[in-house]
Amino acid sequence: MASAVIELDNLKVELGRRKILRGISCRLGVSGVGKAIGLLGPNGAGKSTLILTLLGFLKPSSGRAYVLGFDCRRQTRQVRSRIGYMPETDSFVGNMTAVTFLRLMAELSGLPGETALEKAHETLFHVGLGEARYRELRTYSQGMKQMAKLAQAIVHGPELVLLDEPTNGLDPAARQRMLALVREMKEAHGMNVFLCSHLLRDVEQVCDEVVILKDGMIARGCNLEEERRSNRCFVELEVTGNDERLRGALPEIGADGVTEGDGRWRIVLPPNVEVQAIWDLVARQNLLVRKLTHRRDTLEEIFLKAMGHISHTPGEGAEPGPIGD
């Protein structure tokens, strides 16, 4: 079986008597290096607890968590030597210059002094802070601080980077710059990325797969690459007339659907079939169309379905299932 970037095996974590993670299992990033995995969920779902467990700061009450094949509980040193972490909150020494701070972080990650200084300069230029690298970090704007946090997470060239809300406080231009850097990390440098964000659009733009937590359990796992390739079209149809034969006719165009009664249908079209095929099929059935709307599924809809806010569309799997197998 191929190794996974992150593997969770019935992972349970308790804080005091409170159960935070309730036995989650999945394999993420099994198809090779340079993968971006999104972590989603409402407040209190267990996202921060999972990240702290992967970093080795919290110990599982039972089960196992593995990062790059290493046990997060028993092989903490090996895990931390291979990862970078961008926290959600600022964690700076305010009166240090950016280049001094990055050099320190690179040395703490195991780089020799001269190499650490060289990487500090190089990384600050890479994230757009080259001209401000000798300024004290306390003088930085919010956007600059976010870039500095990203720089310290990648200065030592880790195999996996954990990013906790990387676009917090960024204006639209800076947000796009941050997301472009994340894409470059995985595509050009082969880094794996684990991205926690409450902004679904950020995750949809850069991630290859996503796991959604709810109440400490996996509500849904989704391979976004496959979703993009499938590019299915979801049709809501209302017709007038005898539509009893419509279900049997849908396979003629490769479609699947269910009736909700009173001439209302929900239909899924495969990627190579256009909506015009529905119009033609309905005409052959001698039905009149009262309403026809169509859309492509989005991560927002996947998330809302996982949270139970909207119902599932025919043709979609309602159960979470394993990810990355």
- pTM of the predicted model as reported, rounded to 2 decimal places: 0.76
Which residues, 6 or more positions from 87, have their beta carbon under 8 angstroms from its beta carbon? 149, 164
Mean pLDDT (the chain, rounded): 88
Q: What is the pLDDT of residues 212-228, one digit of tens each?
A: 999 999 998 888 877 76
Average pLDDT of span 120-147: 97
Domain ranges within the chain, ordered by starting residue: 6-223, 233-296
Are the beta carbons of 285 and 243 closer than 8 angstroms? Answer: yes
CATH architecture assigned to 6-223: 3-Layer(aba) Sandwich (3.40)
Q: What is the pLDDT of residues 229-263, one digit of tens each?
A: 666 788 899 999 999 999 899 999 999 888 989 99
2 pLDDT tier (thresholds 50, 70, 90): low
- Amino acid identity, residue 316? E
194 pLDDT tier (thresholds 50, 70, 90): very high
What pLDDT does 32 receive? 66
Question: Strand 18-28's sheet: what is its strand order?
Answer: 18-28, 6-15, 62-67, 70-71
Q: What is the pLDDT of residues 156-175, one digit of tens each?
A: 999 999 999 999 999 999 99
E strand or H helix at 21: strand 18-28
What pLDDT does 113 receive? 93
CATH number for 233-296 (one of 3.30.1330, 2.40.50, 3.30.70, 3.30.300): it is: 3.30.70
Which residues, 6 or more positions from 168, have their beta carbon under 8 angstroms from its beta carbon? 88, 146
Q: Give CA angle at 298 (297, 299), nearest 5°.
A: 135
Closest CA to 178 of 158, 154, 156: 154
Listing DSSP states for 146-171 in one string gives HHHHHHHHHTT--SEEEEESTTTT--
